[in-house]
Amino acid sequence: MIKMKINNPSLEKIAVKKSQYPQANLPEIALAGRSNVGKSSFINTLINRKKLARTSSQPGKTRTINFYNIDDKFRLVDLPGYGYAKVSKAERDKWAGYINDYLDQRENLLDVFLIIDFRHGPSELDLVMYDYILESGFSGIVIASKFDKVKKSQQEKNLKMIYEKLQLKDKSLLIPFSAESKHNKDLVLNKIEEILKA
């Protein structure tokens, strides 16, 4: 399989409301998931940039919708994380509003990847998000991040736990991933290529 090459990724736009989104002229793939799960790190890994997407060990780093233009071919859309208990409810509601408005209104949204933590599996909010993703007719790809943090002896067990909790019918929907070791980076790039071609 020929590997997708990314030559010139850029942060095209930062937005919180529809009037601020870039033109809907490119297909978009968005990353949804809990705060601190690794959405921004996932983007950096795919595009081979250490810091283009801002990351932090503190949850709640991404508070806006950040549109990354990938070679004028498509966009990766970094969403704020949900479920971060240490910010006020008002603040959480505000971020949830940004996320919901984007998911509900973006006509060029081609797919949404759910990112969950490989160590812990899906949270209650992840299950709600995943239902939404399936109901919306997206492919249902789940990225299980921080794969490097799970011992080999635990990997099978965690995979099984995640399959069951998300009731996945097709095992290829679940992709263990590591921004640290870059595990499955090429597989994800190939998936994206397939999605863009479909």
Q: Binding to ligand GTP by residue 158, rule CB under 6 A?
A: no
Q: Are strands 142-145 and 109-117 parallel, antiparallel or unpaired?
A: parallel
Please state, in angstroms and rounded to a whole number, the distance separating the CA atoms of residues 195 and 174: 15
| Sole binder of ligand GTP in the list 129, 179, 189, 192 (CB under 6 A) | 179
Q: Whose CB is nearest to Mg ion?
A: 62
Q: Binding to ligand GTP by residue 62, rule CB under 6 A?
A: yes
The partner in contact with residue 66, picked from ligand GTP, Mg ion, none with C-beta cut-offs of 5 to 8 angstroms by kind, is none
Q: Do residues 9 and 90 lie in contact, with contact meaning Cβ atoms separated by under 8 Å?
A: no
Binding to ligand GTP (CB under 6 A): which residues in 106-145? 145
Q: Binding to Mg ion by residue 40, rule CB under 5 A?
A: yes
Q: Are strands 74-78 and 9-15 parallel, antiparallel or unpaired?
A: unpaired
What residues contact 109, with CB distance under 8 A and at least 6 apart? 28, 30, 77, 102, 103
Give strand ranges (E) for 16-141.
Answer: 28-33, 65-70, 74-78, 109-117
Please state, in angstroms and rounded to a whole number, the distance separating the CA atoms of residues 53 and 133: 24
Minimum Å distance from CB 58 to ligand GTP?
Answer: 7
| Sole binder of ligand GTP in the list 26, 29, 32, 37 (CB under 6 A) | 37
Q: Binding to Mg ion by residue 75, rule CB under 5 A?
A: no
Q: Which residues bind Mg ion (CB under 5 A)?
A: 39-40, 61-62
**Residues near ligand GTP, by CB under 6 A:** 33, 35-41, 55-57, 59-62, 80-81, 145-146, 148-149, 178-180
